[in-house]
Amino acid sequence: MLKDIFIPIHRAGWPFIGGAVAGAVVLSLLWEPLLWLGLLAAAFCTYFFRDPERITPVRAGLVVSPADGLVSAVEPAAPPPELGMGAAALPRISIFLNVFDVHINRVPADGTVTSLAYRKGTFVNASLDKASEENERQSVRMTMPDGRDIAFVQIAGLIARRIVCDLVEGQAVRAGERFGLIRFGSRADVYLPVGTSPLVVPGQRMIGGETVIADLQSSEGPRGGEAR
């Protein structure tokens, strides 16, 4: 129960929390009621940078969500050209994160990072389809133990202004491991091997590092979804 109440805070959040608290003190010197405005900002930063533990399903072939949020689209699309994966369309799952979602990003599968590419861009609403092509992004190409490649992309949103990716080329990673974050509000795309049928549908809520979005060993066809 205590783990559910006292959730760890990501190290990237402490400067923001400290700055908000310091700002609250300064504001209170100008006008005492402004103290509460500063403390409210500190509370929001604490909530935004929360970093809960996750239980990752472990089995060859499973691909888990790299982020918390809602699936905004499941459709074929060409991966970012800077990754050198070709122009052919691959199954793509797009996940939209609002400012209230956990923003810690997690590796979707076991493998080795083979390519990293950062591209500057715009900051349109991350829930829009054009965000994948036009917005600022950090792309990662990864080779899995079976030799197939997947890609996952951190995409800045309307108010996001900082993408953090801690991965390096040649790094061996495991599904569910933390690899970065995006501030504040964003999108994450995952490009799966050709022929893969995603196991999620638009509107479905994802839990980063836990929700299985694809099973590369399964022959199951595409799923449908209904609001109930």
Question: Catalytic residues, which ones?
Answer: 186
HSE toward the beta carbon, residue 112, CA cutoff 13 A: 7
Total Cβ atoms within 10 A of residue 110: 21
Q: Coil, helix or strand for 23?
A: helix
**Cα Rg of the chain (Å, integer):** 19
Picking from 69, 51, 50, 54, the residue whose alpha carbon sits closest to that of residue 189 is 69
Burial class (CB in 10 A: 0-12, 13-18, 19+), 50: middle
Residue partners of 147: CB distance under 8 A and separation at least 6? none
Task: Supply angle C-alpha 211, 214, 216, rounded to 5.
Answer: 140
DSSP letter, residue 8: -
Characterize the bridge pairing of strands 90-97 and 186-191. antiparallel
